[in-house]
């Protein structure tokens, strides 16, 4: 039974790599990554802490005479500066002093939602299809942003923030899986780097621009919801994944998708594309335990869980930490997004041109040097080295999605990415609290992030080569990790996708 879709890429090769059909899928799915990119780091501005002081008052909470350094409670509230922002959730609900803990908690509620969405979206997508989960997540993401903009309390804001996180990651991961399973191997690599990751970064780059123009947290949320409304007609353009349809025994539906693609590409089709045996429904029902049932599958899952947690913690940590950096918050955020754009293009060039190496020891020192650089008295150099660390982890963040897609087989691909992304959200939930250490010392967040980067760079060497590989469809096709088989020990002088990951994590 496992042979039935093993040659899927060969069977559909008559479609070509970049016809009108693939170009439309590539473009539409890439653009769909802009709203998740915009929303993912929006809390940088939604939860920004403006300069503030107590409202003048003649009322005191008690006799403070002779108490030295004792401070007086602001009984009449606070006055917040509107120099940069007309309103944030901090000024809306006075999240300072004894309520200051609510700021990192507000950010973490979003990532708690992302954690939940990472876990459930994979199972829903593997069971009900990639397309319905993608569009339902887009709809929930849009509606929740509009409801959140009308929040009447901090608790309501946090609850909806969690829901928005669930929808955002469900939409983002499913879009990658859906496009990867429709596109050919060469188009898939280009999409992951120059489509999915790059447009996510473009969405992030749009965030500081709109935040600067709007300067109010409610309207910023409304703006973030608009792209989702524009995507309603796309339902009739994006098809279901033919690979998933075959796995569910829906041969006629899968063939209909391929024939429609051939018609758009203006290429002839074979009389028979898929035989009934190739679509025979699997006797086994896959669940999350299948991710650890075999040695190869278990090793791949464990490595991805750790690397996703580490990379995501550093990626979001350095992105959120722009508020602690010296200089203008809008420019810092934009530069951080620009770094993500450069990283996506750079990683694609490394992979496409075959210049990625297997030997990045020089770059392993960069994370450990960064903390000392940012602690200097030179603001410009501090920002340069902080953004250099961001460049490395951004490249790793864009690479890990491609590599995981090519490592997990079709039968558990979305589930595997969901579990890995769930682990990643543990890192992203922790990241605001690591950033919060900057209140005590601006060097501390970079020390933590640098150490984690070093460990992740070393671990990433164990990942098997996925360059020019066909997508595995069954668990039996999963590759062993390096060092556990003769194939893993073989010296390979060709360029490798995971070598780029090692390079980027190390930076």
Listing DSSP states for 3-44 in one string gives: TTTTTHHHHTGGG-SSSHHHHHHHHHHHHTTHHHHHHHTTHH
pLDDT digits (tens, 9 = 90+) for 147-180: 999 999 999 999 999 999 999 989 998 998 899 8
Residue 323 is predicted with a pLDDT of: 54
Alpha carbons 232 and 402: distance in angstroms, whole number: 27
DSSP one-letter string for 350-375? HHHHT---S--GGGGGHHHHHHHHHT
Residue 482 DSSP label = T
Residue 70 is predicted with a pLDDT of: 45
Which residue intervals of 183-216 are DSSP H helices? Answer: 185-190, 198-214
Mean pLDDT for all residues in the chain: 77
| Max CA distance (Å), the chain | 94
Query: Residue 480 pLDDT more than 50?
Result: yes
Query: Residue 231 pLDDT more than 80?
Result: yes
Contacts of residue 49, Cβ cutoff 8 Å, sequence gap at least 6: 88, 90, 95, 96, 100, 103, 323
Write down the number of H helices and E strands in the chain: 21, 2
C-alpha dihedral over 114, 115, 116, 120, to 10 degrees? Answer: 100
pLDDT digits (tens, 9 = 90+) for 48-60: 777 777 777 655 4
Tell me which of 12-26, 65-79, 239-253, 457-471 is least confident. Answer: 65-79
Residue predicted with more confidence, 238 or 333: 238
Structure confidence at residue 61 as a pLDDT band (50, 70, 90) = very low
Residue 72 is predicted with a pLDDT of: 58
Residue 194 is predicted with a pLDDT of: 84
Query: Residue 133 pLDDT more than 90?
Result: yes
> From the centroid of its chain, how far is CA 478?
24
Residue 427 is predicted with a pLDDT of: 82
Tell me which of 7-16, 138-147, 215-224 is least confident. Answer: 7-16
What's the fold here for domain 12-55+77-281?
A: Growth Hormone; Chain: A; (1.20.1250)
C-alpha dihedral over 352, 355, 360, 366, to 10 degrees? Answer: -70
Domains 12-55+77-281 and 284-483 share a fold: yes
Structure confidence at residue 135 as a pLDDT band (50, 70, 90) = very high
Residue 123 DSSP label = H
Tell me which of 319-328, 333-342, 346-355, 437-446 is least confident. Answer: 319-328
Mean pLDDT of the region 390-401: 77
Mean pLDDT of the region 466-488: 71
Closest among 82, 57, 83 to 91, alpha carbons compared: 82
Alpha carbons 122 and 412: distance in angstroms, whole number: 8
Alpha carbons 36 and 133: distance in angstroms, whole number: 15
Query: Residue 344 pLDDT more than 90?
Result: no
Domain ranges, ordered by start, for the chain: 12-55+77-281, 284-483
The conformational region for residue 449 under phi > 0 = left, psi -120 to 50 = alpha, else beta, is alpha
Query: Residue 187 pLDDT more than 70?
Result: yes
The conformational region for residue 77 under phi > 0 = left, psi -120 to 50 = alpha, else beta, is left
Q: Does domain 284-483 have CATH number 1.20.1250.20?
A: yes
According to DSSP, the residues that pair with 216 across neighbouring strands are 87
Alpha carbons 23 and 20: distance in angstroms, whole number: 5
Let me know the angle formed at the C-alpha of 443 by 205 and 450, rounded to the nearest 5 degrees: 70
| Percentage of residues of the chain with pLDDT beyond 70 | 79
Cα R_g (the chain), whole angstroms: 24
């Amino acid at each position: 039974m496992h042979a039935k879709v093993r040659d899927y890429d060969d069977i559909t090769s008559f479609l070509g790599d970049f016809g009108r059909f693939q170009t439309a899928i590539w473009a539409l799915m890439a653009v769909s990554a802009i709203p998740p990119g915009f929303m993912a780091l929006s809390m940088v501005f939604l939860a920004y802490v403006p300069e503030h002081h107590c409202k003048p008052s003649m009322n005191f909470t008690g006799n403070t005479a002779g108490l030295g350094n004792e401070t007086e409670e602001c009984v009449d509230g606070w006055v917040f500066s509107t120099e940069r922002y007309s309103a944030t959730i901090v000024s809306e609900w006075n999240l300072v002093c004894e309520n200051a803990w609510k700021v990192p908690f507000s950010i973490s509620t979003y990532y708690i939602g992302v954690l939940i969405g990472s876990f459930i979206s994979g199972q829903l997508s593997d069971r009900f299809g990639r397309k319905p989960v993608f569009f339902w997540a887009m709809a929930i993401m849009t509606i929740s942003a509009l409801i959140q903009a009308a929040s009447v309390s901090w608790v309501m804001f946090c609850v909806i923030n969690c829901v928005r996180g669930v929808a955002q990651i469900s939409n983002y991961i499913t879009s990658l899986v859906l496009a990867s399973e429709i596109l050919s191997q060469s188009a898939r690599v280009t999409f992951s780097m120059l489509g999915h990751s790059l447009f996510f970064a473009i969405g992030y780059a749009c965030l500081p621009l709109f935040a600067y123009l709007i300067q109010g947290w409610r309207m910023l949320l409304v703006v973030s919801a608009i792209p989702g409304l524009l995507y309603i007609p796309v339902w009739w353009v994006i098809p279901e994944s033919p690979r998933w349809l075959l796995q569910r025994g829906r041969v006629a539906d899968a063939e209909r998708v391929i024939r429609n693609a051939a018609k758009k590409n203006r290429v002839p089709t074979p009389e028979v594309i898929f035989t009934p045996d190739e679509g025979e429904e699997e006797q086994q029902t896959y669940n999350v335990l299948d991710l650890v049932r075999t040695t190869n599958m278990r090793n791949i899952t464990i490595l991805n869980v750790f690397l996703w947690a580490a990379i995501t913690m550093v990626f979001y940590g350095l992105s959120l930490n722009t508020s602690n950096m010296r200089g203008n918050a809008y420019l810092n955020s934009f530069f951080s997004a620009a770094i993500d754009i450069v990283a996506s293009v750079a990683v694609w060039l490394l992979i496409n041109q075959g210049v990625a190496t297997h030997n990045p020891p020089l770059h392993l020192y960069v994370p450990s040097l960064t903390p000392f650089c940012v602690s200097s008295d030179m603001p410009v150099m501090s920002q340069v080295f902080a953004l250099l660390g961001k460049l490395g982890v951004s490249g790793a963040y864009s690479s890990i999605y491609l590599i995981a897609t090519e490592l997990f087989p079709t039968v558990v691909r979305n589930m595997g990415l969901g579990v890995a992304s769930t682990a990643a959200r543990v890192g992203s939930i922790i990241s605001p609290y690591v950033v919060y250490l900057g209140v005590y010392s601006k060097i501390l967040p970079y020390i933590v992030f640098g150490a984690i980067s070093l460990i992740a760079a070393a671990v990433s060497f164990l990942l098997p080569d996925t360059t020019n590989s066909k997508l595995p469809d069954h668990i039996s096709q999963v590759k062993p990790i390096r060092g556990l088989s003769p194939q893993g020990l073989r010296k390979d002088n060709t360029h490798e996708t995971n070598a780029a990951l090692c390079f980027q994590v190390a930076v």
